[in-house]
Amino acid sequence: MKQSKLFLPTLREVPAEAEIISHQLMVRAGLMRQLVSGVYTYLPLGYRVLRKVQQIVREEMDRADAQEISMPAIQPAELWQETGRWDAYGPELMRLKDRHNRDFVLGPTHEEVVTSLVRDNLNTYKKLPINLYQIQTKYRDEVRPRFGVIRSREFIMKDAYSFDTTREGLDKSYDSMYDAYTRIFTRTGLTFRAVEADAGAIGGKGTHEFMALSEIGEDTIAYCTSCDYAANLEKAEVVYKPAAEESTSQIEMEKVSTPDVKTIEQLMNHFDMEARQMIKALVFKADDRFVVALIRGDHELNDIKLKNIVDANVLTMATEAEMSKLGVPVGFVGPINLPDDIKVYADSAVRDMKIAVTGANEKDYHYKNVVPERDFTVTAYTDLRNIIEGDECPRCGGHIAFARGIEVGHVFKLGTRYSEKMGAKFLDENGREQPMIMGCYGIGISRTVAACVEQNNDENGIIWPWSLAPFHIHVVPVNVKNDEQKQLAESLYEKLQNEGFEVLLDDRPERAGVKFKDADLIGLPIRITVGGKAGEGLVECKVRKTGESKDIHIDELMTYVK
């Protein structure tokens, strides 16, 4: 591609709305532009990178015997009502109506559509297992779209769905996807880690997240420095367990009024200053419920070291649907039934507060007499709850460290959750009807691009790994008015392309300084500068990653770049 013709609007200035490096660089290097909050257009360079990720994903999915299909982005509400997610999904679901006033959604994910597809078209064990995938645009009305395409409202996802006849079959499908993901993220050049994720929803080791390691990541990972143990701290440890019968009898429901509290910050304003300094609220998501806890004020709200919440007081819970009806993006704390031995909470400002509305899973009610260990139990990853940095690994006794991660992929054993609700059954060898056993597997394609930029950059711009680079080689004639340089650059451009390289030729009549700045910003792996020594057949080869540069004779160029 000739740069003079390329739609590549680069920027010197850092865009004001971009908080993190990858977002800044993706805009500055002309990869993308925002249309509206959380919705982006990919420009030619950005789209090339996106397609590279898609290609890697496609190759590895095909290799794992998954079959590519393409499902509609627009989905009828009826399917979502079948699974209960029409209510449960909350305000993140983009809803719309057609001219007949029928409800639709713009798909945030495709369990419903794929399950209905398989239900209606496949009903014998002979055709199972099967794994169907697509690479497609997803819609989620995120509370806080941010970080460019890391958390956007329209984004590209690869989503795959496996259907098996047995649990063992599901395990195999799952492992095969896990391996494919490992190959995919290795090929993208990301530094990543597969971590055990929220076990609550399904129990057992049924889900892993693939985390690109990064300081800006929204998740905290605890990992062992000796073995391969790693888990997502924010999700794995607290699991809601329904109260036992005898304890339920002690729990009372109390009616309360609905305050205008939408965020933890607003909530905190209901506390007087002293109390505000003493307590903090913390919201977990466990299964499809939110669990709200107070933690002692000497710990930071965003300090997720779990030691700090061991003696937290679980106060109230709400389903996602309830939260959404109230327009509450996070959880909040209720009138408090405080154990007397926790001094901090005994503050009258806190005690008299009537601000909870969602407890007891009924609007305008909350629970009283809830005892954390009796009515809510920490299961599955109990050992994790106490983990702090430096602790012993629950698996091997090694040393636990923390890291931040960006969730780029997620594999999940669904079991029969969807197939039972939607009646997706098959006939087994004995002619008996059984629900299909499902798994789902997602990769954020656009988020992966951003995570790659986040991990690979310096003060001058992006440093693309070979596998994702929009072009491999940047040929830059210093002065295009000089015939010798111009001709040599053009002949190298042709020759390199014939050898199978993707080449960008900077044939613009710009000053050398401008071209070099743009070249560093765009960050192609190799830059070949054709300058004053063109007459002697010498060009300068510079490796973007190391900064290493060398004069090379054009006769040796091919062996060098290979």
Query: 155 or 367: whose CB is closer to ligand ATP?
Result: 155
The reply to whether 410 sits near ligand ATP by the rule CB under 6 A is yes
DSSP string, 83-127: HTHHHHTGGGSEEEE-TT--EEEE-S--HHHHHHHHHHH--BGGG
Query: 23 or 140: whose CB is closer to ligand ATP?
Result: 140
Query: 410 or 413: whose CB is closer to Mg ion?
Result: 410
- The interface with Mg ion within residues 380-409 (CB under 5 A) comprises 407
Shortest distance (Å) from residue 468 CB to ligand ATP:
16
Instruction: List the structure tokens of 550.
Output: 């060398």
Q: How big is the site for Mg ion, counted in residues (CB under 5 A)? A: 2
Instruction: List the structure tokens of 113.
Output: 């559509």
Angle between helix 445-455 and 44-63 (nearest 10): 110
The reply to whether 140 sits near ligand ATP by the rule CB under 6 A is yes
Span of 149-157, 344-352, 374-382, 420-428 interacting with ligand ATP by CB under 6 A: 149-157
Instruction: Cite the beta strand spans of 311-429 per DSSP E.
Output: 313-319, 365-368, 400-415, 425-427
Which single residue brings its beta carbon nearest to Mg ion? 410
Shortest distance (Å) from residue 287 CB to ligand ATP:
14
The reply to whether 525 sits near ligand ATP by the rule CB under 6 A is no
Q: Which does 151 bind (CB under 5 to 8 A by kind): ligand ATP, Mg ion, none?
A: ligand ATP
- The interface with ligand ATP within residues 98-117 (CB under 6 A) comprises 109
How far is it, in rounded angstroms, from Cα 254 to Cα 336? 11
Geometric angle at alpha carbon 27, from 24 and 28, rounded to 5°: 80
Geometric angle at alpha carbon 347, from 343 and 285, rounded to 5°: 80
Contact 154, 142 (CB under 8 A): no
Specify the amino acid at residue 9: P
How does DSSP classify residue 174?
A: H
Span of 315-323, 404-412, 456-464, 480-488 interacting with ligand ATP by CB under 6 A: 404-412
How far is it, in rounded angstroms, from Cα 125 to Cα 147? 45
The reply to whether 193 sits near Mg ion by the rule CB under 5 A is no
Shortest distance (Å) from residue 49 CB to ligand ATP:
15
Contact track, ligand ATP, 431-460, x by CB under 6 A: -----------x-x-xx-------------
Contact track, ligand ATP, 52-91, x by CB under 6 A: ----------------------------------------
Q: How big is the site for ligand ATP, counted in residues (CB under 6 A)? A: 16
Query: 409 or 461: whose CB is closer to ligand ATP?
Result: 409
Q: Which does 335 bind (CB under 5 to 8 A by kind): Mg ion, ligand ATP, none?
A: none
Shortest distance (Å) from residue 168 CB to ligand ATP:
24
The reply to whether 413 sits near ligand ATP by the rule CB under 6 A is no
How would you classify the pairing of strands 473-477 and 526-530? Answer: parallel
Query: 105 or 475: whose CB is closer to ligand ATP?
Result: 105
In a 13 Å sphere around the CA of 311, the CA atoms on its Cβ side amount to: 12
The reply to whether 193 sits near ligand ATP by the rule CB under 6 A is no
The reply to whether 394 sits near ligand ATP by the rule CB under 6 A is no
Best CA proximity match to 291, nearest among 249, 258, 255, 319: 319
How would you classify the pairing of strands 130-139 and 67-68? Answer: parallel
Give the list of residues 6+ apart from residue 369 with CB closer than 8 angstroms, or none: 250, 251, 252, 337
Q: Which does 408 bind (CB under 5 to 8 A by kind): ligand ATP, Mg ion, none?
A: ligand ATP
Best CA proximity match to 317, nearest among 253, 389, 383, 232: 253
Query: 355 or 408: whose CB is closer to ligand ATP?
Result: 408
Q: Which does 490 bind (CB under 5 to 8 A by kind): ligand ATP, Mg ion, none?
A: none
Buried b (16+ CB within 10 A) or exposed e, 342-369: eebbebeebeebebbbbbbbeebbbbbe
The reply to whether 330 sits near ligand ATP by the rule CB under 6 A is no
Query: 209 or 391: whose CB is closer to ligand ATP?
Result: 209
Which run of H or of E encompasses 286?
A: strand 279-286
Shortest distance (Å) from residue 157 CB to ligand ATP:
5
Contact 108, 140 (CB under 8 A): yes
Contact 343, 386 (CB under 8 A): no
Best CA proximity match to 254, nearest among 314, 332, 345, 316: 316
Among positions 28, 119, 151, 208, the unique one binding ligand ATP when judged by CB under 6 A? 151
How far is it, in rounded angstroms, from Cα 43 to Cα 430? 55
Contact 240, 291 (CB under 8 A): yes
The reply to whether 195 sits near ligand ATP by the rule CB under 6 A is no
Among positions 20, 309, 333, 408, the unique one binding ligand ATP when judged by CB under 6 A? 408
The reply to whether 410 sits near Mg ion by the rule CB under 5 A is yes
Best CA proximity match to 474, nearest among 426, 529, 430: 529
The reply to whether 32 sits near ligand ATP by the rule CB under 6 A is no
Q: Which stretches of the chain bind Mg ion, using CB under 5 A?
A: 407, 410
Per CB under 6 A, residues contacting ligand ATP are 109, 140, 142, 149, 151-152, 155, 157, 407-410, 442, 444, 446-447
